A and B are shown apart, each in its own frame.
Chain A
Amino acid sequence: MEPAELQTFYERLVRRLRDRGVVCAITSGLACVHYGVAESTKDCDLLCQTGSFGQLLDLLSTTQLRGDDCCYRGNISPPLDERWHRGGWTSHFEWGGGENAVTLDVFGHPWRESFPWGQGVMGLYASPRTVAEMKRTNRDKDWAFVTALGVRMLEAGEQEGWLHIFDADTLMEWIGQECCPPELTARRPALRFAMQGDSRTAGALNAERKLWEELDRRRIKMLEKHLRQYFPAVRKARVGRKLRLVDDHAMRVELAMEYLPENPLRDYGLEKFVNEAKATLVSSAIVPENALTWLPDAMIYFDWLNK
């Protein structure tokens, strides 16, 4: 399928959802391309308000592509159900199979969300701020995208962009041109260092990035632990059966109730989760102990899990 055709397919899907009153937006890689940072992904990540999952499932059930029905991708996808998405799970779909499969990953919430994503939607796409927060992963390649989005925000006069610059040279150069608002320097010690010309700026940016990487690694590990119970049960239930999407969905809900805790991170303790990640950074000598005071408050990105 041609890239432009694929883009049109995803955008049409979002428009059809909007016509039904559903708040949703394309995010991640495709949003990066839209905002001017080329990423080679062809997967579509979709943010959709959890209360509208019924409508989304209805639409997916009736949307064919090149004669293929939409189905859950593999055995590992959790169900598209707000109970699990409110706790950070995601659902994964595809049309067709193999290397030509057209895929759709659905998020009720971005994994890191410092403000409600629905408030920042721009056209069919999630805001650069939401996309930049989602990109704070443990994948090395994502970090250049975060800074690129931060710079675009600053260029457009969005002061929040200051929170997304992770490249020390770019930060210093921008600070040489414009002042960072005091409320943001108070939130992010690396910005305060940069404003003061402090040589610890690069170290503080690095410590921050390492924290996000460690948090992402731990989150994935935690989810995987539960998926290792869920996945074989789904595989067993599907073996030799060609299920319609709605039936596959009902089966996954039933198995998720047995094997997937709805909110594993909250159950574990969010503060404990963040503190342990920090402790690991120090014990593995990735950052010096005093660098912990250079970190911004990471908890605000996980508050949504408490709601």
Chain B
Amino acid sequence: MKRAPLTYCPPSRTKEKLARLREIERSFHVRAFGEELARVNLELTIEERIRYVGWMRELARRNGVPEAKRFPYNIEEDLEHPGNE
């Protein structure tokens, strides 16, 4: 299983139509996320994707990329150090 199924109904479209729609989807993923992530999103299994995301995060950490701050914690530091506001 590459991606979690959203339906258990058999496909109602022809193979050709489905292929065309997947082409549109791939083209969007390439434009939005880049070639490599498009492959990760569309070709890897869930387990492989999870491993890839972990590797990506670890690589970013080792190279000093700060973790994305998320609400509400992005204000905590500001509140502890009001000069940063």
B50 in contact with A99 (CB, 8 Å): no
B21 in contact with A35 (CB, 8 Å): no
**B-contacting residues, A211-247, CB 8 Å:** 220, 223-224, 227-228, 231-232
- Give A293 Cβ to nearest chain B Cβ, in Å: 28
A148 CB within 8 Å of chain B: yes
CA distance A44 to B51 in the complex (A): 16
- Give B81 Cβ to nearest chain A Cβ, in Å: 13
How many chain A residues sit at the interface, stated as a range, is 35 or more
**Which residues of the partner chain B approach A40 to less than 8 Å between Cβ atoms?**
53, 56-57, 60, 68
CA distance A37 to B42 in the complex (A): 8
Which chain A residue has the least Cβ–Cβ distance from B72?
A: A76
A38 in contact with B4 (CB, 8 Å): no
A76 in contact with B73 (CB, 8 Å): yes
- Give A81 Cβ to nearest chain B Cβ, in Å: 16
A52 CB within 8 Å of chain B: no
- Give B48 Cβ to nearest chain A Cβ, in Å: 10
A18 CB within 8 Å of chain B: no
**Which residues of the partner chain B approach A3 to less than 8 Å between Cβ atoms?**
50-51, 53-54, 57
Which chain A residue has the least Cβ–Cβ distance from B57?
A: A40
**B-contacting residues, A18-51, CB 8 Å:** 33-43
Among A43, A122, A174, A224, the residue within 8 A (CB) of B21 is A174
- Give A23 Cβ to nearest chain B Cβ, in Å: 19
A297 CB within 8 Å of chain B: no
**Which residues of the partner chain B approach A43 to less than 8 Å between Cβ atoms?**
70
Q: A76-B75, A99-B61, A224-B75 are in contact. Are A152 and B49 (CB under 8 A)?
A: no
Report which residue of B18, B49, B52, B57 has the largest number of chain A beta carbons within 10 angstroms of its beta carbon: B49
**Which residues of the partner chain A approach B42 to less than 8 Å between Cβ atoms?**
36
A153 in contact with B53 (CB, 8 Å): no
A199 CB within 8 Å of chain B: no
A2 CB within 8 Å of chain B: yes
**Which residues of the partner chain B approach A151 to less than 8 Å between Cβ atoms?**
24-25, 28
A197 CB within 8 Å of chain B: no
- Give B38 Cβ to nearest chain A Cβ, in Å: 10
**Which residues of the partner chain A approach B79 to less than 8 Å between Cβ atoms?**
76, 227-228, 231-232
A125 CB within 8 Å of chain B: yes
Report which residue of B4, B5, B73 has the largest number of chain A beta carbons within 10 angstroms of its beta carbon: B4
- Give B83 Cβ to nearest chain A Cβ, in Å: 15
B41 in contact with A73 (CB, 8 Å): no
Which 9 A-B residue pairs are closest in the complex by CB-CB distance?
Answer: A3-B54, A36-B3, A156-B6, A144-B32, A170-B28, A173-B24, A156-B7, A38-B40, A3-B50
* Residues of A near any B CB (own CB < 8 A): 2-4, 7, 33-43, 73-77, 90, 92, 99, 105, 122-123, 125, 128, 144, 147-148, 151-158, 167, 169-170, 173-174, 177-178, 220, 223-224, 227-228, 231-232
What are some 12 contacts across the A-B interface (CB < 8 A)? A34-B4, A35-B6, A40-B68, A144-B33, A152-B6, A156-B5, A156-B7, A157-B7, A167-B28, A170-B27, A224-B72, A228-B75
* Residues of B near any A CB (own CB < 8 A): 2-7, 9, 12, 17-18, 20-22, 24-25, 27-29, 31-33, 37, 40-42, 46-47, 49-54, 56-57, 60-61, 67-68, 70-73, 75-76, 79
Question: In the complex, given contacts A36-B41, A40-B53, A156-B6, what are 4 additional A-B residue pairs having Cβ atoms less than 8 angstroms apart?
Answer: A36-B42, A37-B33, A128-B6, A169-B27
